[in-house]
Amino acid sequence: VGCILPVQGRKTKTDSDRPRVVIMTDAETDDRCSMVHALLYANDMDIAAIIQTNSCFQKHGWSREPWLEQMIDAYGKVFPNLKVHDADYPSAEELHRVCYVGDEDPAHIPNIGKAYKALYTGEPVVINPAEWKDTPGSDRIVELLLDDDPRQLIIQCWGGGNTAAKAFEKLRREYPEKYDEAIR
């Protein structure tokens, strides 16, 4: 009598089994903790981009600091052990290659107090990403939305709604015939 048990960590996932994700992070403490969590689950998703952005609290962003590089380097130190448990973990080099800087212009972040007050008084908060410069991060989002990969692209806005706004504006302006399909 035999018993066959699945061997933990030896499964292989196809690309179609793994969601494609873009992680936009403002590097505040919660995002740094979330990045550790995301890296520990990097085997279960296809990380298409990690984009450093700013936020209403970190208006200048953190891309000038090596926090993300250091975090991915630390991941690289435990990578050999992670691979023992699941062959689908990406290498640190692969993760470094998908890092981009998004919008860190403090002028593109409305004052949090005024923004919330306007929402409650019925006045619209107006931003115009058409006036902003493209960034490597916003360009990467456009590229991913237009590629031939049939999987859904999940854009996680831990920070960086302004980078996504610029990407969507550029997509609508430069690729109007592909906009609806790409956004869907």
Residue 50's DSSP bridge partners are 23, 99
Question: What pLDDT was estimated at residue 127?
Answer: 76
| Residue 124 contacts residue 79 (beta carbons within 8 Å) | no
Helix (H, G, I), strand (E, B) or coil at 21: strand
Amino acid letter, 159: G
Tens-place pLDDT, residues 107-145: 887 665 555 555 556 666 667 899 999 999 999 999 999
- pTM of this structure: 0.85
| Residue 110 contacts residue 56 (beta carbons within 8 Å) | yes
